[in-house]
């Protein structure tokens, strides 16, 4: 599916959880966080509220895919962290988006 696409895969194969997944990856790029901390961080940085169901739908997909992993913890609020492949995927995705954004802004005459 995403095998021979360019580095900007529109949905990373995550379906309706694409955008939440991206926000989670960005949130975890800062350091390990548990679910509630991710929600707060995403609300603060992206100005978007992610519902608990959406959050865990995306978390489960990201974990299955190996892009994030849980950190063993005594607390029920289990923290997650980015894996190496997750960091690589996020880098690829964000680079692609940046290229796209640059192109769009240049065409608009906003950026040089």
Query: CA-CA distance, 6 to 11, in Å (whole number)?
Result: 12
- Residues of this chain that bind another protein (CB under 8 A): 1-3, 13, 15-16, 34-36, 39, 51-57, 59-61, 63-66, 69-70, 72, 75-78, 83-85, 88-89
* Least Cβ distance, residue 102 to another protein (angstroms): 24
The set of residues, in sequence order, having a beta carbon less than 8 Å from that of 43 and lying 6+ positions away, is 49, 50
* Least Cβ distance, residue 105 to another protein (angstroms): 28
* Least Cβ distance, residue 24 to another protein (angstroms): 13
Q: Which of 4, 24, 18 is nearest to 70 (CA)?
A: 24
Nearer to another protein among residue 76 and residue 107 (C-beta): 76
Nearer to another protein among residue 73 and residue 103 (C-beta): 73
What is the C-alpha R_g of the chain?
15
Q: What are the beta bridge partners of residue 82?
A: 68
């Amino acid at each position: 599916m995403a095998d021979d696409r360019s580095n900007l895969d529109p949905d990373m194969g995550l379906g309706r959880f694409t955008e939440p997944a991206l926000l989670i990856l960005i949130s975890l790029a800062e350091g390990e966080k548990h679910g509630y901390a991710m929600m707060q961080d995403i609300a603060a940085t992206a100005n978007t509220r992610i519902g608990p169901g959406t959050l865990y739908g995306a978390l489960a997909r990201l974990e299955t895919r190996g892009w994030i992993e849980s950190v063993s913890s005594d607390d029920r609020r289990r923290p997650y962290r980015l894996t190496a492949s997750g960091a690589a995927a996020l880098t690829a995705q964000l680079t692609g988006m940046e290229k796209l954004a640059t192109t769009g802004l240049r065409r608009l005459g906003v950026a040089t």
